[in-house]
Structures are given as C-alpha cells and as structure tokens.
A and B are shown apart, each in its own frame.
Chain A
C-alpha cells in the first residue's frame, strides 16, 4: 500500500482506512521537514496549483498555500471577491480558464455542497476540497485525527464529542466519517435546533447535556457558532448558549478526568470556550494548526504523485 485509492480529495467519505494511514505516515515525514532550519523540499517543482476560494478563509487558505510552497509547487491564488465570478461566469468556465494556463491541481472552497464532486467530473485536474458549504472539509478532519493520534497515540477506541453548531458544520460531518473509519466512537452535543434531525443514522450518539458529554469523552472538539449561516434564530441568545454549551475552566476542572480540547478555528472566545480553556495545557488548538500544514503537504504530495506526466 503506497498509493492513494483516489485521484481527488473530495471528502472523507471516498477514502479508505488505508488511505488515511498512508496520509498520516507521509505527514509524519513532512512534520519533520517543517521543523528543519530549511523547511522546504523540491518534490513538486514541476506542479502548479490553483487555490480557488469562493468563500472566505484565513487559516485554511494560508495553510494550503504554505504547504504548497514548502513542496516547491508554483501557486496561484484566486478569491471570488475580486473576480469575474461577479460578472456571471460559471464555475466550469472559471476553472477551465485557469486550467488552460497549465494548472495541475485545484484546491477549492465553495459555498455549495458538492461543488468539488461536480468539478472533478467536468475538468481535467486533481481536485482538493477545502470545504464545500455545510458538507465536507476533509483536510480539517484529517488534521484533527492526526492531532488526536499525536496526543493520545491512536484514534482507535477513543471517544470524541463534537460540541456546538453541528447543523451548519462541514467539519462535523468530515470528522464523523474520519473518526468512525479509524474505529473511534463519536458523539454530538448541542442545542436540539443545531443537531441535524437524522444524525443518529450515521451511528453517532446524541447528547444535549454538555456535562454528561464531557464526562463520557476523551476529546472534545468545540465548533464555532456559525452566525453567518443562520437565517433564523436557533437559540434565544449567545449568553444562554454559552451558559449551556460553553466550556469554561471550572467545568473542565470538575470533570472526573483530563480531556483534550480541540477547536477548528476561528474561536469566538467567551462563546463556545473561554480564553483560559483555549490557552490551557489541555488544549491542542495550536498543534492542530501546525499539523494542518504537514497533513496538507502529505495530501498534496500523494495526489500529485498520481498526476501523469
């Protein structure tokens, strides 16, 4: 097993357990690379990658760009704000125009679920989904699992609770797929209005009491409340949300065991977690960010090696 089973990374749903294993083993090597005095390798010097962001992003975009540059790929960036998309160009036209400039790989974030899958069927390039609406965000789930593996040794058998706005979260769905594939148990916790109706069909536990959920888990992945995606009111007030589903130091200290706290960012400090929790020893939030670069390097490297010359 030395090759990915897929030519695109569209979602965790399309990956096998062996694929994830291969990505993690490759990421281990890249993690060593990015801690060297010179953090760059020349592997992808003949590959050009386009980062197409049709939706805002800071962390993911920087992380992908850094990963690409550390592999010596040529990088072009595109944000829909300053583009011809506003003039009415279709997605396929936009991408084909970019590809005619000899681009080998496309990293795309798009507000519509399934945009990556659609694109992979219509254009001739390797596609990496960097988030499609509330559907999947595969590289985030991979780096989350990688960080759990690094902190706790293995993902298998661990209990992970995903807390917060599961309804609007692509991170939640990709994490559920990734964790289950590796043999972890998953629970979701949040206000009933923010838990999708049939989520138990995915084989996850549902809990509305945060204290019970935290007492059950080894790892808590705290999601951000995505106000920008909320067209109606899902809970009475932010203050009430924080009282019921926010994690603070007192709550953490009152648990029977020491759990690990994760957050995909950006954090709303004082809403889903307090500052003293985010900056505590139990939090691996900044490790997640560092691992993000190594994991994305691994994904890009493994996909690029399948592009024929």
Chain B
C-alpha cells in the first residue's frame, strides 16, 4: 500500500476559503440557504465551511444540518456487511430553501442520488447544489456533477482518495492511497 499527498494543510486551507467565497458570491447573506453535510465524512467539511463563513466572513445565522443516507442507499443486502447508520441532525424544514449538499469526495455519484431522495423527507427544497472537496473525474455511474469543486483529480478504480480533518484525523490533508 503506497500513498501520495494530493493536498497538504496549506492547500486545503486555501481551497476552503475559495469555496467559502464562491458560496457567498452565489448565496449572499445565506438567509434562505442551508448547508447539509453528508454523513459520515461530509459533515467535517460542512462544519468547517460553516465556521469559516461565520468567523472569517462574518456571515450570520448559517443553517447547518447533517444528513445520513444509509436507509436510502441502493446497495442494501449487496455487500458483505450490514450498512450502519449515522446520526441525522436537521432541525428545520427545508421547504423552499436553497440547499447545498456538502461531501468530501465525489466518486460514483450514488451517495448523492441517495441524498437527493433522503432530503425529500424534510420537505420540498427550492433548489439543491453540490459542493465537494475532491471530484474524481471519469468515475461517475450517474449523471451528477458538482456545482462547487475543490480539486479535480484523475484516479483509477483501485486507488482511494482519503480526506483527513484535524477534528478527526489530527491533520488537514488529502491522500491518494493505492490498495
């Protein structure tokens, strides 16, 4: 197993600030916008972006939620293991809101498909956008593309992209891991 650094802490930080600025450009004061981090790994990115928006760019009243898609996945009973759920934390209705889904890596697009179904349980949003830190090109199984992307990478199928966060993995970094 070998691994290569795709992004280091400084690069991750620059990208996060750029993504935050792009969100402000589109959503202004966030009065009708909600950020939804996808469980399990998208929530770190969502929490971090919300923190940057409020502390560095003075955006007030950011609505932030965590969405778990386990029960909406299309691979139930297809793998070896039971799919384990995570916590969903959305304590507002998303009716007529502009939603930004936030996940760390966009790969096949199947998680996003599941998230699009899952979010309907909380109302009918006005629009849904997608923000990902890493966009794995040419590996999509579904017609889904991000609206905001941190970095586009070409990765072959037996390689894995691992995003680390200070809050959870002691460092901000992105690795390419060869299995």
Assess whether A279 is interfacial by the CB under 8 Å rule: no
A308 touching B120 by the CB < 8 A rule?
no
CB nearest to A47 among chain B residues: B77
Interface residues on A, range: 20 to 34
B48 to A: closest C-beta gap in Å: 24
What is the distance, in angstroms, from B177's C-beta to the closest C-beta of chain A? Answer: 23
Taking the complex as formed, is A40 at the interface, i.e. its CB lies under 8 A from any CB of chain B? yes
Asked whether, in the complex, the Cβ of A302 is within 8 Å of the Cβ of B121, the reply is no
In the assembly, what is the distance between CA of A43 and CA of B77, in Å?
9
Residues of A within 8 A of B84 (CB): 2
Q: Are A304 and B71 in contact (CB under 8 A)?
A: no
CB <8 Å contact, A3 and B76: no
Find out whether the CB atom of B121 lies under 8 angstroms from the CB atom of A44: no
A3 near B82: Cβ-Cβ < 8 Å: yes
User: Hey, what's the 0/1 contact readout for A128-153 against B, CB within 8 Å counting as 1?
Assistant: 00000000000000000000000000
Interface residues on B, range: 20 to 34
Contact A306/B71 with A29-B88, A36-B122, A37-B93 known, Cβ cut-off 8 Å: no
A305 within 8 A of B: yes
Q: Are A2 and B81 in contact (CB-based, < 8 A)?
A: yes
Beta-carbon nearest neighbor of B114 in chain A: A42
Classify the interface of chain A: helix, strand, loop or mixed: loop
List A contacts of B88 (CB < 8 A): 29, 32-33
Number of A-B residue pairs, CB cutoff 8 Å, is: 56
* A44, B70: Cα distance in complex, Å: 12
CB atoms of B82 and A37 under 8 A apart: no
Q: Are B77 and A29 in touch, CB under 8 angstroms?
A: no
Chain A residue with minimal CB distance to B93? A37
CA distance A299 to B93 in the complex (A): 29
Q: B126 near A: Cβ within 8 Å?
A: no
Contact string against A for B residues 66-83, beta-carbon threshold 8 Å, 1 for contact and 0 otherwise: 001011110011100111
The smallest beta-carbon distance between B39 and chain A, in angstroms, is: 10
- A58 CB-CB contact with B under 8 Å: no
Q: How far is the CA of A222 from the CA of B68 in the complex (A)?
A: 38
Measured CA separation A306–B120 after assembly (Å): 28
A39–B71 CA distance with the chains assembled, in angstroms: 12
Q: Which of A271-309 contact B (CB under 8 A)?
A: 301-302, 304-309
Chosen A-B contacts, 23 in total, with CB atoms closer than 8 Å, are: A2-B81, A4-B82, A26-B85, A29-B70, A29-B71, A29-B86, A29-B88, A33-B71, A33-B88, A36-B121, A36-B122, A37-B121, A37-B122, A37-B123, A38-B121, A38-B122, A42-B72, A43-B72, A44-B76, A46-B77, A301-B71, A302-B82, A304-B77
Question: Footprint of A on B, CB under 8 Å?
Answer: 68, 70-73, 76-78, 81-88, 93, 117, 120-123
- Taking A4-B82, A29-B88, A37-B123 as given, write out 18 further A-B residue pairs in contact, using a Cβ cutoff of 8 Å, ordered by the A residue number: A26-B85, A29-B68, A29-B70, A32-B87, A33-B121, A37-B122, A38-B120, A38-B121, A38-B122, A40-B121, A43-B72, A302-B82, A304-B77, A305-B77, A305-B82, A307-B77, A308-B77, A309-B77
Binding site for B on A (CB under 8 A): 2-4, 26, 29, 32-33, 36-44, 46, 71, 301-302, 304-309
